[in-house]
Structure 1
Amino acid sequence: MAIAVSEAVVGESEVISYNSPGFKGLIKEPYIFCLACFASIGGLLFGYDQGVISGVLVMSNFAKEFPSLANDATLQGWMLSILTLGAMIGALFNGPISDKFSRRWSILYAEILFLIGSILQCAAMTVAMMFIGRLLSGLAIGMTSMVIPLYLSEIAPPNIRGSLVTLQQLGITLGIMVAFWLQYGTQYIGGTGDYQSQAAWRLPLALQCLPCLILAIGTFFLPYSPRWLMQKGREEEALQTLCRLRRVSPDDHRVQLEILEIKVAQKFEEKTSPSTSKNQSSIRAALEQYWQFFRTSHLRKRIIIACALQIIQQFTGINAIIYYAPQIFKAVGLQGSTVSLLATGVVGVIDFLATIPAILYMDRWGRRKVLIIGGIGMSISQLIIATLYAVYKNSWSEHPAAGWAACAFVWVYIAHFAFSIGSVNWIIPSEIFPPAVRGKAVGLAIASNWLSNFIVALIYPRMLKAITFGTFYFFLAFCLILIVWVYFFLPETKGVSMEQMDQIFGGSSAQENIQLMAEIRDELGLSGSGKVIGEEKVEELDTSHVEKV
């Protein structure tokens, strides 16, 4: 297949833009927007499973069926944490799986695991059965939380990439919101207190099977990632898929530019990546790629940024609030399970609504500005919550206004988290890595998120019991670290194509790499005469095999 493109593809590259960023860009790209919404069902399952367990833990019948889980803080911590431990393993192992079998099929494998885990949870008769179900669901959630942002970033045009990947976070918040309000209704099945039915908690656990089945069936209709196809040498199919995704004809100069950027980046990675012996096992080859993250300076910089973002995100305290929201609101003086679930239901609504501005403006404002604004809002919220807790921890019942004020700033914190680091932490890892290591790098970054999540879920009940209000000052410190770290260390990536990230992070800046890139361009016929499109010279592209869109 003869593909050629503008001389500006590498180096001072032409910015490829199919439409405007933000809301206008999404409206003008309905096909890819719908694909992203469908793939984000994986995020909905992630959020639903996280949200549903916090309400289940405070239900009377669940406490009756599993008294050890309801009353033992350590065992309860492990029940919550086993899912995150499984998710860490799932995210880490799904990097090689998604590279070998495609992003598309790794989603299907994850949904099969999730379905089995969900059935075990809703049918659990013993603690062991519940733990196994949550472990399997955790493996699946880790796999989807890694591969869906990666898949969305690889099919998205640069002008709306941030918005499309943020749909993963919108799916998560929708799942949390649905879980909270569903439990608010199901708690009355059979009555309240000792009369509550098992269906009050089994039904919410069972209902997550439905979206899981929908996503599993839908993966048979999802297109492959064009970048994954190019990585596998399926160039013609990559071009066909890219034309369908962009809804343009194959002679459109933008799709010509984009497909060649992908090919140039792939060839550059092939020539610069350490060669592997044909007799070398796939496991050893994968370990060699992981080792590159630490011995190659530009990859080391990227992996540090991606993993640091995940760790900071978790230690701002978000999942401590999501997992233990009912207990938090009880601790600040709200009485009764109904009021507690109502308060956490508001958390879900705010979390969902506050994510929408990120979808609309992420690609206009940029990642850095969004993170700094969110970090400031979270810091103020944690400071006020911690101070109120310190002053009124022994007298909440006498100062209900203080309890509601603390509750309100939990909501303010949630809002700032949702539109800032809650969204950006999925975008950055999925867009900054070169093609040869992208799957494994994203898996490693998301695994670090789940490891941090595991630690927070395990220690938070003990922290709240041991140091009470100091727990929120601890989270405040990480909110402040986020602001400083973003200001000094995080580069802006909005509007930059994935193939041009070397201009920001290095990797093709050394003299020998510049020379190699020039040789690749010559090899692909990027110099010489061609037809003129605007001010760009573009060689003819053989598109006879591609159907018109």
Structure 2
Amino acid sequence: MSYVVGVEKMEADKLSDDENLLWESAEHGGFRGLLKSRKILHLSLIASLGGFLFGYDQGVISGVLVMNNFIKSFPRIGGDGDLQGWAVSIMQIGAFLGALINSPLADRLSRRYSIALANVSYLIGALLQAGAVNTAMIFVGRFVGGIGVGQLSMVIPLYISEIAPSNIRGSAVSLQQFAIATGIMVAFWLDFGTQHIGGVGDSQSQTAWRLPLGIRVIPSAVLLFSSLFVLPFSPRWLMKVGREQEARYVLGKLRILPENDPNLEQEMLQIKAGAMFDELTMQEKFPEAKTHNQRALQLYKELVTQRHLAKRLFVACFMQVLQQLSGINAIIYYAPKMFQAIGLRGASVSLLATGVIGIINVLATIPAIAVVDKYGRRSVLMLGASAMTVSHVIIGTLYAVFEKSWNQYPGAGWAAAVFLWLFVFNFAYSVGCISWIYPSEIFPLGVRAQALGIAVSINWISNFLVGLLTPIMLRQLKYGTFFFFASCTVTLFLWTWLCLPETKGVDMEKMDKLWGGSESLETAERMRRINSELGIDNEIVLDREMEEIEV
């Protein structure tokens, strides 16, 4: 299905002076840049429904598993703590596989249609769980739905990063994390409300748990429809598959510019040069790779054999590991136990733990949208890592000092709770957002889907392992758990400071300059030939790119 089929072509030269001025002045990041680029904001918000589904699926199951009627309906799950743990974790295993399998799909079918396919998996999983009459349906539904979640978590940041201009790319991709946090929060409060349907005791209705498990089909169906009829193809993907005229048309609509505008022409040349470079490299290095599968296999090999690509892949994967080792999901999954451990008791513990954390997680993501394209990825990461370290150290210290006397010093318990909330706040605007932004923007077009699929799958397997090990750590290490997480956030700070280049405002086609992708004479000569073919002055382009990177 072509994006232009059935769509009346907009006469770009009839744009009002205000709209043209809108683009010319859209040099800002954050909210200002997003509001000026309203087309990108609109499409990014629609695509971010995938993040909402991701967060909702993570948040909904914990409340459902403890509902009285669910336990009566599935006594094997309700009476077995290990089985409950697997009911949660099997989604993460499915997501790990989904992120991996979606890489070739995003390249072959398009980013847009792989979003649609992911929603089919998600819908099947949601319907199986909502209509479950036995334990097997719960587990199969969680696994199949998890595959859809993994696919969405891989392709949504990829898609948004490819349609957004460089000045707002970080802010636009941050909407993904905002949607994830919103999904977690909505799931908790919906569980909290529906548990009262029919009463919280033996009279509780099946609707109490079937409704929160089933209602997510609505946003999933909306995203499925939008991926087929509303979201355009990524212009970079169109150029990758040789549909240049369509890429120009779509990019013009995205930027609200006529097709002959010099700004649009400059961006098109950059995208075309990047696509041509990837294609020429593949032809010259691997002339024997004729089929799609053979070329895909070579791309995966390139990721680990090419030094600059392997470096980027390590950075993308290590950032996912550090995101999980910051302790965020350990706190989200086990917050009630942590609050009880620091001396807080009563029915309010669940609200204090999950409800308040959910609200803070959403609110704290808003500053990231505003600052990540203004102050850069590095500074925001280092600020968040520093603040998270302080929180972990203070909580661990309070735990060590008052472990045997929380009841005598309730103020110490509340102080620990406050720093737990502060940790969540600082996570959300820093590594919570940037771990999605950074990997989605640093790779060349030819291997971008493959690299992001690997990185996101590492996120999911790390998530699984942290969830598995945290109860053991809390039981064996106790307050040492927080000091362990503090060591990980210190590592995040030092690694960012010493190793990560700044990508703020750098066009995706110019990332090679940051990572040494054009260090060889062979590669430089290949790029010169492409620039010459496109009529681009190599010396002028090189000088301008070096000036931009230095700035």
> Does TM, scored on the shorter chain, surpass 0.5?
yes
Is residue 406 from structure 1 mapped to residue 416 from structure 2 by the alignment?
Answer: yes
Q: Give the letter aligned to residue 378 of structure 2.
A: R
Contact 1:56 1:62 in 2 (8 A): yes
Matched residues in 2 for 1:507 and 1:226: separation?
23
Task: Structure 2: state its 5+ residue gaps.
Answer: 1-23, 541-551
- The aligned residue for residue 252 of structure 1 is 261
Contact 2:289 2:295 in 1 (8 A): no
Contact 2:26 2:36 in 1 (8 A): no
Matched residues in 2 for 1:527 and 1:113: separation?
48
Matched position secondary structure for 1:363: coil
Q: Give the letter aligned to residue 352 of structure 1.
A: V
CA deviations on 1:297-342 (whole Å, 9 max, x unpaired) are 1101110110010011011111112223333333333334454134
Matched position secondary structure for 1:202: helix
| Match 1:415 to one of 415, 422, 425 | 425
In 2 relative to 1, CA 396–59 (structure 1 residues): closer, same or farther, beyond 3 Å?
A: farther
Q: What is the CA distance between 1:159 and its match in structure 2?
A: 0.3
- RMSD over aligned Cα, in angstroms? 2.0
- The aligned residue for residue 19 of structure 2 is none
Q: Give the letter aligned to residue 264 of structure 2.
A: V
- The aligned residue for residue 467 of structure 1 is 477
- The aligned residue for residue 193 of structure 2 is 185
| Percent pairwise identity | 51
Q: What is the CA distance between 1:62 and its match in structure 2?
A: 3.0
Deviates more, 1:338-347 or 1:100-109: 338-347
Q: Give the letter aligned to residue 505 of structure 1.
A: W
- The aligned residue for residue 49 of structure 1 is 57
Matched position secondary structure for 1:496: coil
Q: Give the letter aligned to residue 388 of structure 2.
A: M
Q: What is the CA distance between 1:203 and its match in structure 2?
A: 1.5
Deviates more, 1:201-210 or 1:155-164: 201-210
Deviates more, 1:235-244 or 1:78-87: 78-87
Q: What is the CA distance between 1:17 and its match in structure 2?
A: 7.9
Is residue 154 from structure 1 mapped to residue 168 from structure 2 by the alignment?
Answer: no
In 2 relative to 1, CA 259–142 (structure 1 residues): closer, same or farther, beyond 3 Å?
A: same
Matched position secondary structure for 1:197: coil
- The aligned residue for residue 526 of structure 1 is 536
Matched position secondary structure for 1:333: coil
Deviates more, 1:310-319 or 1:456-465: 456-465
Matched residues in 2 for 1:329 and 1:357: separation?
27
Contact 1:385 1:410 in 2 (8 A): yes
| Match 1:89 to one of 91, 97, 113 | 97
Matched residues in 2 for 1:55 and 1:399: separation?
30
Q: What is the CA distance between 1:65 and its match in structure 2?
A: 3.3
Matched position secondary structure for 1:224: coil
Q: Give the letter aligned to residue 483 of structure 1.
A: F
Matched residues in 1 for 2:330 and 2:407: separation?
23
CA deviations on 1:496-540 (whole Å, 9 max, x unpaired) are 000000110111132232222111111112249xxxxxxxx99xx
Q: What is the CA distance between 1:455 and its match in structure 2?
A: 0.7
Paired residues for 1:74-473 under 5 Å? 74-220=82-228, 221-273=230-282, 275-276=285-286, 282-473=292-483
Deviates more, 1:446-455 or 1:182-191: 182-191
CA deviations on 1:462-486 (whole Å, 9 max, x unpaired) are 2222322222222111111100110
Q: Give the letter aligned to residue 326 of structure 2.
A: T
Contact 1:92 1:447 in 2 (8 A): yes
In 2 relative to 1, CA 282–395 (structure 1 residues): closer, same or farther, beyond 3 Å?
A: farther
Contact 1:120 1:133 in 2 (8 A): yes
Matched residues in 2 for 1:72 and 1:513: separation?
58
Matched residues in 1 for 2:402 and 2:205: separation?
37
- The aligned residue for residue 13 of structure 2 is none
- The aligned residue for residue 546 of structure 2 is none
Q: What is the CA distance between 1:57 and its match in structure 2?
A: 2.9
Matched residues in 1 for 2:387 and 2:327: separation?
14
Matched position secondary structure for 1:121: helix
CA deviations on 1:116-148 (whole Å, 9 max, x unpaired) are 111112222322221111111110111000000
Q: What is the CA distance between 1:380 and its match in structure 2?
A: 1.0
Matched residues in 1 for 2:41 and 2:278: separation?
30
Q: Give the letter aligned to residue 236 of structure 2.
A: R
Q: Give the letter aligned to residue 295 of structure 1.
A: T
Contact 1:50 1:322 in 2 (8 A): no
Task: Structure 1: state its 5+ residue gaps.
Answer: 1-15, 529-536, 539-549
In 2 relative to 1, CA 210–330 (structure 1 residues): closer, same or farther, beyond 3 Å?
A: farther
Matched residues in 1 for 2:146 and 2:431: separation?
22
Contact 1:267 1:520 in 2 (8 A): yes
Q: Give the letter aligned to residue 344 of structure 1.
A: T
Contact 1:53 1:323 in 2 (8 A): no
**How many pairs were matched up?**
515
CA deviations on 1:257-300 (whole Å, 9 max, x unpaired) are 00000111111112223655677554343222111111101101
Deviates more, 1:312-321 or 1:230-239: 312-321
